[in-house]
Amino acid sequence: MTNDVISGGQPIHAPDNLQPLLESILQQALTVNDGKVADYIPALAEVKSDYCALTVATLDGNVMSVGDADKAFSIQSISKVFGLMLAMERVGDSLWERVQMEPSGQPFNSIVQLEWEQGIPRNPMINAGAILISDVLVSHYSASKSALLSMVRGLCGSEEVYVDYRVHESEREHGARNSALAYLMKSFNNIESDVEEVLDHYFWQCALTMSTEQLARGMAFLANRGKCPHSGRQITTHRDSQRINALLSTSGMYDQSGQFAFTVGLPAKSGVGGGIVAIVPDYGVICAWSPPLNSYGNSARGMYMIRELANNLGLSVY
């Protein structure tokens, strides 16, 4: 792996054996005690706060992990990436008539902004945008859930990826604000299908559950110009993988996206389950997980681990 390059031709200073560095970073991360586990969804509030995992999956098939990398967790908003990719594949550029690609500058579940902008979400990574994407999938697939799960399992190379139905039900029972976003978009004629069916798909998608190793493999196509490294199948066009990475760079880390770009310099997506996945073009994927969240809704330890690894190896794409 020594002297591999990333996009832009910048060298990666990676040792042949990353394991000692990953272990050192994990041990340092365990001393980070900021943040608290998400509690607005009861099923998430029960997850142990001391879980911590870090995985690096390179495009040559090498997967290196430390900590609780075999534990499955709810990926929550990280699932927005999979839904977006499927919607882009199905409807093409017409998608961007219904959702923008701009940073929001507002909380990820803002109702005010959606009202101001007449039911057009700012980007697919905020809740309104992801609900819009769910509408596209429900409208264009006879079995949208099966289509998404089948695709994700194929990308991860594992049939063990599953949906935690307890989390799904917990999301539904505490999803009033998301319901408000969906019905507001419906009032502006930007939701085509039945609102409750769209919301059910969205809540179900957020309950996708997997380990850091599975998630790192599942996102590897974004580091490989749209091609899945382990299957060799072209998942998206090179152009669409660039577009998704661009959205992750500007909007993937909630209101902390600018700070993450400044300090880490990688396209990334987080979820309130404590997961963060970061894309290193032409090299691989970093996935971190630890449930306690900072004030932005991002894993405090996960942020620390990815930042330290990126800085040690010189991974910034900028």
Which of these is catalytic: 56, 134, 202, 270? Answer: 202
The whole-angstrom separation of Cα 206 and Cα 271 is: 9
Active site residue 272: yes
Eight-state DSSP code of residue 195: H
The whole-angstrom separation of Cα 311 and Cα 211 is: 24
Active site residue 186: no
How would you list the strands of the sheet with 53-58, edge to edge? 63-67, 53-58, 284-289, 275-280, 268-270
| Tally of CA atoms within 13 A in the half-sphere of 53 that contains its CB | 27
The reply, when asked if residue 127 is annotated as ligand binding, is yes
Given the DSSP bridges, would you call strands 275-280 and 268-270 parallel, antiparallel or unpaired? antiparallel
The reply, when asked if residue 304 is annotated as ligand binding, is no
Which of these is catalytic: 167, 264, 272, 277? Answer: 272
Active site residue 254: yes
Q: Find the angle CA(110)-CA(260)-CA(52) to the nearest 5 degrees.
A: 95
54 three-class SS: strand
The reply, when asked if residue 308 is annotated as ligand binding, is no
Which of these is catalytic: 37, 63, 66, 80? Answer: 80
CB–CB of 125/80 below 8 Å? Answer: yes
The reply, when asked if residue 123 is annotated as ligand binding, is no
Active site residue 202: yes
The reply, when asked if residue 109 is annotated as ligand binding, is no
Which of these is catalytic: 37, 65, 66, 77? Answer: 77
Which of these is catalytic: 37, 74, 251, 254? Answer: 254
Alpha helices (H) in 92-162, listed in sequence order? 112-116, 127-140, 144-156
The reply, when asked if residue 178 is annotated as ligand binding, is yes
SS3 content of the chain, % helix, strand, coil (to 5): 45, 15, 40
Active site residue 165: no
Give catalytic residue positions. 77, 80, 202, 254, 272
Residues contributing to the annotated binding site: 77, 127, 171, 178, 202, 254, 272
Residues contributing to the annotated binding site for substrate: 77, 127, 171, 178, 202, 254, 272
